[in-house]
Structures are given as C-alpha cells and as structure tokens.
Amino acid sequence: MAAYRAPLKDIQFLLNDVFDVGQLFASMPDTAEVTEDLISAIVEEAGKIAEGLLAPINQSGDQESCHFVDGTVTTPKGFKEAYKAYAEGGWSSLTGDVNYGGQGMPKMLSAVIEEMSFAANSSFALYTILNTGATLTLSSHGSDELKKRYLPKMYAGTWTGTMCLTEPHAGTDLGMIKSKAVAQADGSYLITGTKIFITAGEHDLTENIIHLVLAKLPDARPGARGISLFLVPKFQVDDSGELNGIRNGVACGSIEHKMGIKASATCVMNFDSAVGYLVGEANNGLAHMFTMMNYERLSMGLQGNGLADSSYQIAAEYAKERVQGRAATGPQLPDQNADPILVHPDVRRMLLTMRANILGGRALSLYAASQLDISRFHPDVAQRAKAEKLVALLIPVQKAYCTDRGFEACVLGQQVLGGHGYVAEWGLEQNVRDARIAQIYEGANGVQALDLMGRKTVRAKGELLDILSGEIDEFVASQIDAQSMKPYLDALHKCRERLAEATSIVLARSSEDPNEIGAASYSYMELMGLTLYCFMWARILAAVNGGSGTAGFDASYADSLVKIGQFFMQRLLPRGESLLAEIASGAETLMAMDAEQF
C-alpha cells in the first residue's frame, strides 16, 4: 500500500497562483497578517501531521473500530495519543475567535488542512471538524457568558463539540423533531429527547463533550420555525469555565455498526432532563445551526476530495509498477514479459478522470471557502452580502458534486488495482467504504440538489446564478486577450449557455407543474457542478499560462496541468449535453407510474 503523501505542490499552486490568497487576505484587515510565508509553513506542517500522525493509524483504526461498553466509548489504539498531539499543536483553534483563544485563520487555510486530514484518516478528521463547527456556531450566536465559559477549552482541544439534529423519526425534515426544552427559574433549560447518528457524541479523547442540540419549547409553533438551539455539556461547567464534577443527564445509548468510518463513533444520544442553555434567540435554532451546517457541508466535499486523492496516489503508483499485457503500439519494456498497465488507454482514462476531478474539486472547494472568508472578514458590507449569496449557491453543489466525484474516484482507483483493489491490504476498499457516507450525511446529495434547484434557483428566480455569472464574466474579461486561453473560454461559454438553458426550462415549467423542480434537480446539480469545474479548470489553465510561478511549480508540473485540463475539456465536459437532455425531458416519465407499480 502506498504511503499517503500530502499534495503540497497542488495546494500551494492553487492558493498562490490560482486564487492569489496573499492579495485576498491583504485586502481584509482581520487576515492581513496571514502572509504566503505563514500559509506555506502551516500547510507544510499540516502535511506532516497527516502523513506521520494520522495516516499510520487509519487502517488499524478501521480494523479495530470503536468499542462500546456500558455507555462508554473507547476509540481505537493510537487515536487518543494522536488527538492529544493534534490539540497540543494548536490545530483545534486554527479558525477560532481570537478573543477566546482562537487564531482567527481563514477558512481557505483550514479547508486544505481538512482535506489532507480526511485523505489520511477520515474517522479521525470527523472528531476535529465537529468541534470546529460547534465552536463557530457558538462564537456566532452564543451569549458572551457562554462563549467565555466554553470556547477557550474547546479551542484548546480539551473539550470537543457535536451537533445533535437527527431523531429516529426525523431526518431531513427537522420540523418533526420531538425533543423538548423546559425553562428553569435560573435561566437554564431541561432537555429531553433522543438523537441518532451523532458523530463523536461519546468518546475518550477529551474530558468533556459539548453538545449543540435542537429542541422545542412547550409553546413553540409547529414546524421548523419552532426549533431552538441549546448547549448541553456532558459534564456541567461552573461560571469560571471549569468542570464542577456533576455528570449531566445525557448518555450514549449505543453506537452504530457501519459500512465505513468505523473509528468514528456514531452514537445514539439520550437526553434525560439534561441541563442546557439557549444559544441565540428562541425559535431561531435552525437558522443558527445552519452556520455550522454550511461549514460542515463544505467539509464533506473536502472528504470526497481527500479520499479521491488518497485513492489516486495508490492507483497511479500501482499502474506504474504492475506489468500486464503489452502496449498497443508495441512493447515498452522489451526486456520484460509485459508492460506496466499505465500503457493501456483505459487505465489512463480512469486515472485522468480521477486526477481531473480531484483538481477541479479542490479548486471549487477553495473557491467556496474564499467566499466564506469574504463573507466573514471583508470590510465592505456589499462584498460580504454578495459572498453570502454565492455561498448559498455554491455549498450544495460543492457538497454533492465533490462527494459524488470523490466516491467515483475511489471506485475507479479500486478498478485500476483489479482484484488487489478489493482486498484490505491496499487500502482502496476502505476508501470506498469511507467515502460512501459523504454522499449521505450533512444532507443527502439528493436533498442538496433539491435545495439548489428549488430554493436557490427557482424561488430566487435565478438571482444567485446571475451573481455567479458575473464572477465568470469578470474572469473571462481578464483573459480575453490571451490567445492560448481561447479554447478554454469557448468551452466555458458553452457550459454557461447549457446551464442558462436548463435554468430557463425549469423556471418556465415549474409554475405549471411543481414536480419539474424535483425531476430536474439532480441533473441540474450535476450540470452546475460540471460548469463550476470547467470554471475552475479555466482558472487553473490561466494561472499556468500566466506563468507567475509563485508556487515554484516546474515546467513538467505545468505541462501536466495543461494535459489534464485538456482531458477534462475534451473527455469529461461533453457530459453536459446529456444532462441538459435529461432536464429537458421533464417530469412526465418520472411521475407516470402508480405507487403500487413499484
């Protein structure tokens, strides 16, 4: 099995040459001190953590899994020590509020670190990103008292956080939740209910776990508008932010036995009159939780990218070493009985598909992260508002499209190895199992597609898409005089035309038949994802053609990017035509059968 190698060259190229983070961060006072040198140092150190600390316990963690005995969860061998080293290195506080012990770093930086963590050890990464999301939500919506009491220990990694949404009868439709919160005279609440699929709900990595729980007050209105958000600690905390020794009324009832991410504890959590504290305004909990959800959904796309990259590394190395058959043009290694399988066009098809989508997905994830940073740090109110709208459009696509392509890449990598890809020692079968969940949790990909088509496009009457189109127009205008960019700009123009046509079709038909929205949604998400990958590849190729070289990429690396980009444009991009045809076919055939005919 190939040892995981952090893709530092790709990361540095995208950050510096494609997105010019030095200039972006310099334009925002709160990130002005985040220089390219600082970014490089942090990314390189994170790469060492991924390669040397997380990857070595990935396969063993999968084989051992978590243990559940009498309400206590024990993580696999090495996880507790690795988490201690991770926390002591300051990684838990990277993007945190500087007023409470955080480092205030931008999401673009943490995004590439998350991708490397997911590639090296997805189960371990989940413990860390849940804490990051919980601290972000608390920082954004909690009272000063709650922030002072809980954030320092969560940033230090001494405590970790979770989010508790799903219930046995309520998954996507959170308006159906039954968990109750009853106000007490001292301003606290007693929380009662059961939550399922709670990542890191119980474990032995830290001394306390801080749950963010959705529940309803007794007089709450029906549906999603009656949901409030509460902070519920595993162990109660005094006013000074220290444990008071009292165990709260929250316990793990069981852990799930899963297809993948086996070293991540997925828990059933029972709240029995547990003491909790209101976060933000009553009955606005779902909106507050979406602060966390946008970041977590971005993380799921990063999981897809990371596991795809891990799979590519294994498959590419295997393809260069495994000898089987001869090249169609004649023996490449005449002194041996066969040539490496890399000579076969179909093997190259699989590897190039993986590589093209990895780079496109990584770039799209950084683009979405840049908009999150602008919405958080930019001094101009108008720029922040524009970025927030772009985030609303980009996140469902980035989550769904990157996880779909990520899973596809893991399967393709497995196929390159053939039978060896199906056995455990090479790591591909674990990647396939670990990647599969990313298409499901944090909002299944079909739900992301429906959100994109329904809320973000039809209901918004195309306004958000117009903003994205403006971004593309600005890029095209910057490249219009570059003759070498003409084929790529032409391809991007065709993508935009297809997406605009698809949008017009659904906007026109949905007023007469609401099923048109759902019928078109998944194909539309894929069409937009393909268009965004084309946009990202155009930016990548523009950076190569510009030749600024701030990332220090050599001629061979630049040449490889051009070749991969051309493969994407010529072999993957044509799928847009079939996606448009699917959308244009309408809802009739999908809705024609009666229920009993299924």
**For residues 250 and 235, what is the distance between their CA atoms, to the nearest angstrom?**
9
For residues 407 and 305, is the Cβ–Cβ distance under 8 A? no
Whether 496 is covered by a domain: the verdict is: yes
Residue type for 318, please?
A: Y
Please name which of 98, 90, 129, 31 lies closest in space to residue 376, comparing C-alpha atoms: 31
462 sits in the region (left: phi over 0; alpha: psi -120 to 50; else beta) called: left
442 tagged catalytic: yes
The CA-to-CA distance between both ends of the chain, in Å, stands at 44
Structure tokens at 450: 């429906």
Structural domain contains residue 56: no
CA distance 397 to 450: 10
296 in any annotated domain = no
Report if residue 124 sits inside a domain: no
| Helix %, strand %, coil % of the chain (to 5) | 60, 10, 25
Catalytic residue among 36, 442, 516, 526: 442
Characterize the bridge pairing of strands 228-233 and 180-183: unpaired
- 3-class DSSP assignment, residue 236: strand
Q: How far apart are CA 190 and CA 364, in angstroms?
A: 42
Pairing of strands 243-247, 208-215: unpaired
- Count Cβ atoms within 10 A of the Cβ of residue 467 and give its class: 0-12 exposed, 13-18 middle, 19 or more buried: middle
Angle ∠(355,336,347) on CA atoms, nearest 5: 20
CB 150 within 8 A of CB 134: no
Residue bearing tokens 């035509």:
577
Phi, psi at residue 149, to the nearest 5°?
Answer: -80, -35
Contact 223, 138 (CB under 8 A): no
Q: 81: how many CB neighbours lie within 10 A of its CB? A: 12
User: What is the dihedral sign for C-alpha 34, 132, 107, 291?
Assistant: negative
> pTM for the whole thing?
0.96
CB 323 within 8 A of CB 422: no
| pLDDT value of position 440 | 96
Inter-CA distances, 396 with 219, 364, 445, Å: 33, 12, 8
The values of phi and psi at residue 329, to 5°, are -90, 0
| Amino acid 550: pLDDT | 45
Q: Environment class of residue 295 by beta-carbon count within 10 Å: exposed (0-12), middle (13-18) or buried (19+)?
A: buried
Distance between CA atoms of 323 and 332, rounded to whole angstroms?
11
503 lies in which domain range? 452-589
**Whether 76 contacts 65, CB under 8 Å:** yes
Please check whether residue 302 lies inside any domain of the structure: no
Six-digit token pair at 81?
A: 């020590």
Kindly give, in sequence order, each residue whose CB lies less than 8 Å from that of residue 556, ignoring residues fewer than 6 positions away.
Answer: none
> How many whole angstroms separate alpha carbon 366 and alpha carbon 346?
30
Contact of 439 with 411, CB cutoff 8 Å: no
CA atoms within 13 A on the CB side of 224: 11
What does the block give as tokens for 157? 């990694």
> Whole-angstrom Cα distance, residue 121 to residue 139?
27
Q: Is residue 491 part of a domain?
A: yes
Q: What is the pLDDT of residue 549?
A: 47
Contact 271, 298 (CB under 8 A): no
On whether residue 538 sits in a domain, the answer given is yes
DSSP-derived 3-state class of residue 541: helix
DSSP string, 296-352: HHHHHHHHHHHHHHHHHHHHHHHHHH-B-S--TTS-SSTTSSS-BGGGSHHHHHHHH
| CA separation for the pair 89, 314 (Å, rounded) | 29
8 A C-beta contact, residue 195 and residue 271: yes
* Per-residue tens of pLDDT for the chain, all 598 residues: 779 999 999 999 999 999 999 999 999 999 999 999 999 999 999 999 999 999 999 999 999 999 999 999 999 999 999 999 999 999 999 999 999 999 999 999 999 999 999 999 999 999 999 999 999 999 999 999 999 999 999 999 999 999 999 999 877 777 789 999 999 999 999 999 999 999 999 999 999 999 999 999 999 988 888 999 999 999 999 999 999 999 999 999 999 999 999 999 999 999 999 999 999 999 999 889 888 888 889 999 999 999 999 999 999 999 999 999 999 999 999 999 999 999 999 999 999 999 999 999 999 999 999 999 999 999 999 999 999 999 999 999 999 999 999 999 999 999 999 999 999 999 999 999 999 999 999 999 999 999 999 999 999 999 999 999 999 999 999 999 999 999 999 999 999 999 999 999 999 999 999 999 999 999 999 999 999 999 999 999 999 988 654 445 689 999 999 999 999 999 999 999 999 999 999 999 999 999 999 9
Please check whether residue 458 lies inside any domain of the structure: yes
Question: Between the CA of residue 204 and those of 77, 115, 248, 449, what are the distances in Å?
Answer: 11, 24, 17, 37
- What distance in Å separates the CA atoms of residue 162 and residue 166, rounded to the nearest whole number? 12
Are 173 and 207 in contact by the 8 Å Cβ rule? The answer is no
Distance CA 109, CA 125 (A): 15
Count: domains in the chain: 1
Q: What angle do CA 267, 70, 189 make, to 5 degrees?
A: 60
Q: How far is CA 307 from CA 6, 238, 274, 311, 407, in A?
A: 12, 41, 38, 6, 8
Question: CA 235: distance to chain centroid?
Answer: 30
354 dihedral zone (left: phi>0; alpha: psi -120 to 50; beta) = alpha
DSSP, collapsed to helix, strand or coil, labels residue 223 as coil
- Buried residues in 24-48 as b, exposed as e (16+ CB within 10 A): bbeebeebeebebeebbebbeebbe
d(CA 393, CA 372): 12
d(CA 102, CA 139): 10
